Amino acid sequence: MIFESINFLSVQMNQYFRNKFHINEDVVIVSDLINQDGSIAIKGENKVIISLINIEHNLTLKNNVRLKYGQILGEDNKTDLNFSLLFSCYFPNNNYGESLKFISYVTNYLQSNYLFSNKNSIDMPPEIDEITLTMLNYNLEELSNLWRTLGAKYMPSVVYKLNVSSSN
């Protein structure tokens, strides 16, 4: 479910960029920023990178019990996970302005398209019921710690919580 939901989002975002700029190549990729040996993991330049930085179990829906006429039918077998995703704009060679433009396009897209379900997305993976996105606010210290932990130099970026709901 992790790969399927993040890959689905990257496909949707690439379609957005293809339509917006009339291009054929993928701008959005799912990748680490840095390899284990410290080298740059990104293949190519001028990319928006989606990196998974955290996984949490959403406990707010844990132990939901289905009732019918006051009788317990059983527990819901719903899986509800939160993924923290880092969207980074990698535009080297003094293309900082392009990085800023693309991080704006990313946030505009994600703020406008924050809910995906089988009802509004025909390409939704069948094992996923719903995906919702919420921007997370990081202060300067948290952001500095994140980039230090990743072992990378800062790039224009934003972090979103991707909530994935799935019935088993």
d(CA 14, CA 8): 10
- pLDDT of amino acid 94: 87
d(CA 89, CA 142): 19
Residue 117 host element (H or E): strand 115-117
- pLDDT of amino acid 11: 97
- pLDDT of amino acid 166: 86
d(CA 55, CA 38): 23
For each of the chain's 168 residues, which pLDDT tens digit applies?
A: 899 999 999 999 999 999 999 999 999 999 999 999 988 999 889 999 999 999 998 766 445 554 555 555 555 567 789 999 999 999 988 899 999 999 999 999 999 999 999 889 989 999 999 999 999 999 999 999 999 999 999 999 999 999 999 876
**Tokens encoding 128:** 């996923």
pTM, two decimals, is 0.88
The SS3 assignment for 64 reads: coil
- pLDDT of amino acid 78: 73
- pLDDT of amino acid 60: 61
Asked whether the beta carbons of 94 and 71 are under 8 A apart, the reply is no
